[in-house]
Chains A and B, each alone.
Chain A
């Protein structure tokens, strides 16, 4: 008996531009992304058996039941499931879709990540929404915000490993440089290091420019299993999902032993690398969760790309730039592409798939064999790690 189930592939990707779209609603964005994915996969839309929607709040009253409306507009009448895992909802929906294919229940499914955050303009609303990704009762209601918890994590990393403000700021500087070449990114301009350093502090040491912006956007994928490929010859540009793993940690920061390591990321990455039988050094390109500068530093350490404590130095030395030791966030990451929570995890996968297909244009990483995505909820209570390979690879 095979423990890993059926082989699963990504055969289509779709992405809207990310940003503030006051003239468009959730349905419009999700429909654009799903239609783009179906057209990219070049399949008959009647072969899609089920859809998984990943979003955190977009079914709240201003966007009621957009999943259903999106499927109607895309002319697919199929069952659908909403998956919610805070700001990791996209990766969570992808993981559920993967399970449905690996188990053999379905052979072709759609995954849609979507979020419409620019409707929530009132001060403090986004802070409250993000409060549900941390301990609402004993962190948020006490006065903590997601940003303030990351501020304490940043200070802990600075204290423990002598990480500097310049090292931290080199994360968004690099991501904005990458985002400049991404037509889907919200911010397509470089921002110099001193702008990050001189910005007003929101929660010391996190400054106004350090946060990924909470914006609008949708992303979609068409996934198939080996069964589908056996029956349908000639499907091109299929990218194998070599592993899809997730892991958890205690929700509340004050319950953790260490603030400078996200156990969920470490565990999910270990499981993912073990399954594929490769080392972190085999990864050429990775899309990691850089909601704050410290998030990317923790991610590249916890995923095993760099030793614990070396993430800041490595970033400042340019080891995570495009076509260096490892290309981290070639899309611009959450920081420059923008962070519509549910759409983010799937947009990361879209980027890695395009990199593996060699279609990433000016942000193309040379000689990509393996690519990785990493999406987390809140302060790492949940982490999702996926590894993708080249078309011809055996799983």
Chain B
């Protein structure tokens, strides 16, 4: 894992930030300097809605090294209540209990760790309501 990258991205990862465009009014994720819909840079930070529903999901048993401690885990594409879609892990659940349309809320968890003494990367995951 790359320390400068983790440091650079921590604010948007920890706070789950997107943007809201002051010109066209649209919101988007992830955080960017320009609005992907109208191209203006007149944008402001926007905190994503904390609840949503599962659109698609699967489970992951072959994960990257840094996430192997966590595997197998569930993963899905979530549509948040503000209409923004994100990919996220779905935790504290059994894969067989997951259903499309299930309501979930965003939680703050460890995403990856670089061995026992290395860096820890945090970010959002989802849990059922």
Contacts and interface: CB of A to CB of B under 8 A. Distances in A.
Interface of A: 122-125, 127-128, 131, 135, 137-145, 147-148, 151-152, 155-156, 159, 201-206, 252-255, 259
B53 to A, nearest CB: 13
A123 B67 CA distance: 11
A145 B68 CA distance: 12
Nearest to A159: B100
Nearest to B85: A254
Nearest to B59: A204
A128 B73 CA distance: 17
A203 B86 contact: no
Contact of B63 (A143, A252, A254): A143
Given A141-B111, A143-B111, A144-B87, A201 B73 contact: no
9 contacts: A138-B87, A142-B75, A143-B89, A145-B60, A145-B63, A147-B62, A201-B61, A206-B58, A254-B77
Given A155-B56, A204-B95, A131 B61 contact: no
Given A124-B68, A155-B56, A145 B87 contact: no
Contacts of A152: 56-58, 75-77
Contacts, number: 92
A140 B77 CA distance: 13
B70 interface: yes
A139 B86 CA distance: 9
Given A124-B62, A143-B70, 15 more contacts: A122-B65, A124-B65, A127-B63, A127-B64, A128-B64, A137-B30, A141-B123, A142-B111, A144-B75, A152-B77, A159-B100, A202-B62, A206-B58, A252-B87, A254-B86
B113 interface: no
A155 B60 contact: no
A203 B61 contact: yes
* A-B residue pairs, 5 tightest by C-beta: A151-B58, A124-B65, A152-B56, A254-B85, A143-B89
A155 B56 CA distance: 8
A45 to B, nearest CB: 43
A155 B55 CA distance: 11
B112 interface: yes
- How many of chain B's residues touch chain A, expressed as a range? 20 to 34
Contacts of A143: 60, 63, 67, 70, 73, 75, 88-89, 111
B105 interface: no
Contacts of A124: 62-66, 68
Contacts of A147: 60, 62
Contacts of B121: 141
Contacts of B50: none
B75 A148 contact: yes
B87 A139 contact: yes
A189 B23 CA distance: 60
Interface string B72-101: 010111000000011111000001000010
Given A152-B77, A254-B85, A140 B56 contact: no
B46 to A, nearest CB: 16
B65 A138 contact: no
Interface in B26-48: 29-30
Contacts of B95: 204
Contacts of A203: 58-62
A133 to B, nearest CB: 14
B114 interface: no
A359 B30 CA distance: 51
Contacts of A122: 65
